[in-house]
């Protein structure tokens, strides 16, 4: 995903409108995407790992919320929460690009508290 793709996604979600409540978030993501675009893949991976270590515990709940998925090509979605996760049905199910066999997992339904959802294989 390049900066232009990110811009289109944020614009579609109205996160670039200076009057919108999510403008600061959209602006931060856009700046991050521009910076990442200039890096080699290995450098991007290192940055992402550092960001996860600094700002999150590394565990990500994959839900079927459409806002958490970006269609990157016709019929293929990528998780916004975890860019290693891909879906062919808009996020209802997903697989990891790190899994050579692409085992299919079921996403947590939107609106179901994570602690009440069925365990998701990862």
pLDDT digits over 17-41, tens only? 777 667 777 778 888 888 888 889 8
Higher model confidence: residue 19 or residue 66?
Answer: 66
Instruction: Burial-class residue 91 by CB neighbours within 10 Å (0-12, 13-18, 19+).
Output: buried
Residue 29 lies inside a defined structural domain of this protein: yes
Q: What is the pLDDT of residue 56?
A: 60
- Pair 71, 111 in one domain: yes
Closest CA to 104 of 85, 117, 80: 85
What's the rounded Cα separation, in Å, for the pair 67 and 29? Answer: 15
Structure tokens at 55: 């700002």
Its pTM stands at 0.47
State the average pLDDT for the chain: 78
Higher model confidence: residue 110 or residue 39?
Answer: 39
Closest CA to 83 of 24, 117, 119, 32: 32
Res. 44: pLDDT tops 80 = yes
- Pair 105, 74 in one domain: yes
Assign 93 to helix, strand or coil: strand
Q: Could you tell me which residues are beta bridge partners of residue 101?
A: none
Q: What is the pLDDT of residue 75?
A: 92
Q: What percent of the chain has pLDDT over 90?
A: 18
- Domain of 30 in residue numbering reads as 3-55
Residue 61 lies inside a defined structural domain of this protein: no
Termini Cα distance of the chain: 23
Q: What is the pLDDT of residue 59?
A: 62
Structure tokens at 87: 């879906």
Question: How many domains would you assign to the chain?
Answer: 2
Closest CA to 82 of 37, 91, 74: 91
Residue 122 lies inside a defined structural domain of this protein: no
Res. 81: pLDDT tops 70 = yes
- Pair 49, 89 in one domain: no
- Pair 71, 51 in one domain: no
């Amino acid at each position: 995903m390049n900066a232009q793709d990110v811009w289109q996604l944020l614009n579609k979600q109205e996160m670039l409108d200076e009057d919108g409540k999510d403008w600061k978030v959209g602006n931060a993501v856009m700046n991050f995407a521009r910076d990442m675009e200039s890096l080699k893949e290995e450098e991007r991976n290192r940055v992402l790992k550092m960001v996860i270590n600094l700002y999150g515990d590394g565990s990500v709940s994959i839900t079927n919320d459409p806002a958490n998925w970006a269609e990157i090509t016709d019929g293929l979605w990528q998780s916004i929460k975890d860019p290693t996760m891909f879906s062919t049905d808009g996020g209802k199910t997903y697989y990891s690009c790190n899994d050579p066999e692409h085992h299919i997992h079921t996403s947590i339904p939107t609106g179901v508290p994570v602690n009440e959802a069925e365990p998701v294989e990862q």
